[in-house]
């Protein structure tokens, strides 16, 4: 157990907000985590568990203990002629894991290339892109209960996955810490290419295989999403709103080119990026916070922004989208104060 008092969180949030935590504690096994959870420092303080901080926004210094996993292992736990089962430590970088799978010829996560963050957070957030969500390949999530320090395994069904949703963001929010995730990957991959013009883009790079799919996704993401090492950001700031069908049809009369995704017979999903762009926000800066000039769904730190500046910009955007389209935007990023 490694305890650092008065620790800087600057390198632990991709927005690049310069805040501190009273204590920063790292562990490298589930057993080590169990001991930490029973220690005085954790029992007597508020705790926050973070991954690489790619989906959170600090509004202030964190009064309490920030916990971080250093469980880096990748273990093959089973295999048959069709599939391979891997248990992956919660602090493994998500994209390193994708690269490892692609190099080995195992399919299932290639469409999720270059998503920032670590394995544990990916399983909480149910990360998704280009027609794939991580829930499609998760078999089991291993976790430790914060209050009792007991180990519990969740099947994928028990995780209650939905669009950027899981039980760990709802009923069990702040109750469990994920230590590892078991994935099932395909030795005979079935490629998912039906997102917008994705198949054409892959074909431009050559044959349809895991390596070219990964290469194409990396090119697409790099062309519109800013590198957090250069420009602080947390990817999509808002979730894409799901609205009643009738509301969508009303909007379609006024805006015939409105992009949309089918959700169900009663609901339709509309891209938040399009709504924000239509309100004229792309590239707009207020203080040190701005809307990215290549993707309106991404808010960026132009240098030295505070959490409050980013939230102020987010609130102005929410207000104008509500006024123009009657739609509430909800942040995908977690606000921490
Ligand atoms: N659009 C605009 N203006 C913009 C950007 C996009 O009008 O500035 C329009 C595009 O023309 C397109 C639509 O909005 O018709 C959707 O844009 P895009 O395909 O770029 O995807 P998105 O809805 O903005 C979602 C995910 C991303 C994921 C991509 C690809 C959410 C909140 N975001 O973005 O996830 O990479 O699809 O699958 O669901 C993330 O969660 O951090 C993230 C980056």
- Decide: 177 and 49 in contact? Cβ < 8 Å: yes
CATH of region 2-69: 3.30.43.10
Quote the pLDDT of residue 1.
74
Is 282 close to ligand 1, i.e. is its CB under 6 Å away? Answer: yes
Identify the bridge partners of residue 129 per DSSP, sorted by sequence position. Answer: 132
- Positions of the chain with pLDDT lower than 50, given as ranges: none
Residue whose CA is at the smallest distance from ligand 1 atom 25: 129
Active site residues: 164, 236, 332
What is the pLDDT, as a whole number, of residue 53? 95
Residue 295 CA, ligand 1 centroid: distance in Å: 8
Nearest alpha carbon, ligand 1 atom 6: 273
For residue 76, how many other CB atoms are within 10 A of its CB?
A: 10
295 lines ligand 1 (CB under 6 A): yes
Assign 80 to helix, strand or coil. coil
Separation between Cα atoms, residue 285 and residue 19, nearest integer Å = 22
The residue whose C-alpha atom lies closest to atom 33 belonging to ligand 1 is 236
The full set of domain ranges for the chain reads: 2-69, 74-222, 227-336
Cα(238) to ligand 1 centroid in Å equals: 10
**240 C-alpha to ligand 1 centroid (Å):** 8
Ligand 1 atom nearest to 296, measured from its CA: 8
User: In this predicted structure, what is the pLDDT of residue 196?
Assistant: 83
Q: Are strands 261-262 and 267-269 parallel, antiparallel or unpaired?
A: antiparallel
* pLDDT for position 311: 98
Whole-prediction pTM value? 0.93
Which residue's C-alpha comes closest to atom 29 of ligand 1? Answer: 129
Q: Scanning the structure block, which residue is given the tokens 């921490």?
A: 336
Ligand 1 pocket residue status of 233, Cβ below 6 Å: no
Ligand 1 centroid – CA 25 distance (Å): 35
Tokens 């394995």 locate to 119
Ligand 1 near 332 CB (within 6 A)? yes
Tell me the CATH number for domain 227-336: 3.90.78.10
CA of 117 to the centre of ligand 1 (A): 18
Pocket lining: 129 vs ligand 1, CB cutoff 6 Å = yes
Residue 307 in contact with residue 332, Cβ under 8 Å?
no
Fold (topology level) of 74-222: 3.30.465
Q: 273: Cβ below 6 Å to ligand 1?
A: yes
Question: Probe ligand 1: pick from 273, 284, 291, 292, max atoms within 8 Å of CB?
Answer: 273
Residue indicated by tokens 């204590």: 23
CA of 129 to the centre of ligand 1 (A): 9
Shortest-distance Cα residue to atom 14 of ligand 1: 274
Mutate to test the pocket of ligand 1, among 164, 274, 333 (most ligand atoms within 8 A of CB): 274
| Torsion, Cα of 51, 140, 33, 10 (10° steps) | 0
pLDDT, position 2:
79
List the end-to-end C-alpha distance of the chain, in Å, as a whole number. 25
CA distance 337 to 162: 26
């Amino acid at each position: 157990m490694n305890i650092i008092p008065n620790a800087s969180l600057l390198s632990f949030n991709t927005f690049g907000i310069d805040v501190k935590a009273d204590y920063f504690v790292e562990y490298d096994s589930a057993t080590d985590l169990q001991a930490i959870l029973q220690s005085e420092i954790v029992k007597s303080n508020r705790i926050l568990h973070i991954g690489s901080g790619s989906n959170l926004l600090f509004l202030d210094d964190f009064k309490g203990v920030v916990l971080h996993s250093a469980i880096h292992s990748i273990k093959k736990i089973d295999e048959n002629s069709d599939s391979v089962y891997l248990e992956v430590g919660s602090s493994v970088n998500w994209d390193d894991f994708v690269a490892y799978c692609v190099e080995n010829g195992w399919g299932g996560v290639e469409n999720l290339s270059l998503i920032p963050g670590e394995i544990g957070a990916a399983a909480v957030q149910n990360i998704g892109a280009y027609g794939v969500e991580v829930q499609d390949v998760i078999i089991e999530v291993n976790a430790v209960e914060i209050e009792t320090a007991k180990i519990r395994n969740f099947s994928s069904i028990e995780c209650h996955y939905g669009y950027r949703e899981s039980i760990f963001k709802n009923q069990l929010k702040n109750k469990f810490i994920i230590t590892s995730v078991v994935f099932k990957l395909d030795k005979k991959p079935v490629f998912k290419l039906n997102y917008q013009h994705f198949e054409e883009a892959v074909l431009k790079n050559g044959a349809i295989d895991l390596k070219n799919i990964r290469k194409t996704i990396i090119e697409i993401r790099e062309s519109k999403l800013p590198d957090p090492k250069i420009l602080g950001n947390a990817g999509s700031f808002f979730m894409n709103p799901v609205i009643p069908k009738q509301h969508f049809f009303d909007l379609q009369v006024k805006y015939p080119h409105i992009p949309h995704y089918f959700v169900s017979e009663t609901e339709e999903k509309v891209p938040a990026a399009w709504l924000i762009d239509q309100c004229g926000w792309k590239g707009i800066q207020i203080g040190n916070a701005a809307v990215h000039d290549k993707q309106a769904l991404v808010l960026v730190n132009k240098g030295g922004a505070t959490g409050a500046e980013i939230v102020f910009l987010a609130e102005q955007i929410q207000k104008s989208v509500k006024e123009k389209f009657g739609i509430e935007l909800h942040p995908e990023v977690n606000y921490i104060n």
